[in-house]
Amino acid sequence: MKRYLLTTTFSLVTYLNITCDNHHINCADVRRGRFLYHSSITNTDYLIERNDTIQTEIDTHSKIITRCKIVWVNDCEYYLTITQNNNPNRDGIDSFFESTPIKTSIVQVTSSYYIFSSKVDSIGKSLTLTDTMKILKWGDPFHFPRL
């Protein structure tokens, strides 16, 4: 009975792995596009639009717009550096992120979301955030005000 259960379990896991792999989308599929990120830390939604070299983010609550330069290392990794921010209440954290690149790795991609891990290193300390980004379809309502 144990052998039958083990064989059945192994077969089921193999089937699920094959089925999931058939729906796999690679990292290059989220190199450009529109995305929605919800920060559970600040309980804020961010609309994001990305092309090969620029990422624009808008805080949907405060309407603060941030533009970042992107340098791709490969299809699944890039560095993000803030180049513009219209926050009228800028502080030391804003200055820090303008001078410190954020290394982001795309960990998993599906048809509706992707999982990323972002890391900032500074003076012997590092901060890592792993979270989920929703992929928006081009027909979804989405408008960026000018910076």
pLDDT in tens, 2-57: 444 444 444 433 344 444 444 555 999 999 999 999 999 889 999 999 999 999 99
3-state secondary structure 16-85: HHHHHHHCCCCHHHHCCEEEEEEECCCCEEEEEEECCCEEEEEECCCCCEEEEEEEEEECCEEEEEEEEE
* Domains in the chain, number: 1
81 belongs to a structural domain: yes
Tokens 């450009």 locate to 32
- Joined tokens for residue 21: 């792999």
86 belongs to a structural domain: yes
State the amino acid at position 10 in one-letter form. Answer: F
7 belongs to a structural domain: no
18 belongs to a structural domain: no
| Cβ–Cβ < 8 Å for 67, 147 | yes
Q: What is the pLDDT of residues 13-27, one digit of tens each?
A: 334 444 444 455 599
**Residue 137 pLDDT more than 80?**
yes
| Cβ–Cβ < 8 Å for 113, 105 | no
68 belongs to a structural domain: yes
10 belongs to a structural domain: no
In 3D space, the residue among 57, 46, 58, 49 whose CA is nearest the CA of residue 30 turns out to be: 49
51 belongs to a structural domain: yes
58 belongs to a structural domain: yes
At 6 the pLDDT is 42
In 3D space, the residue among 29, 97, 41 whose CA is nearest the CA of residue 66 turns out to be: 97
Q: How far apart (Å, rounded) are the C-alpha atoms in residues 73 and 104? A: 10
Q: What is the pTM of this model?
A: 0.74
Q: DSSP labels for 72-120?
A: EEETTEEEEEEEEE--TT--HHHHHHHHS-EEEEEEEE-SSEEEEEEEE
Write out the residue range of the structural domain in which residue 71 sits.
27-136
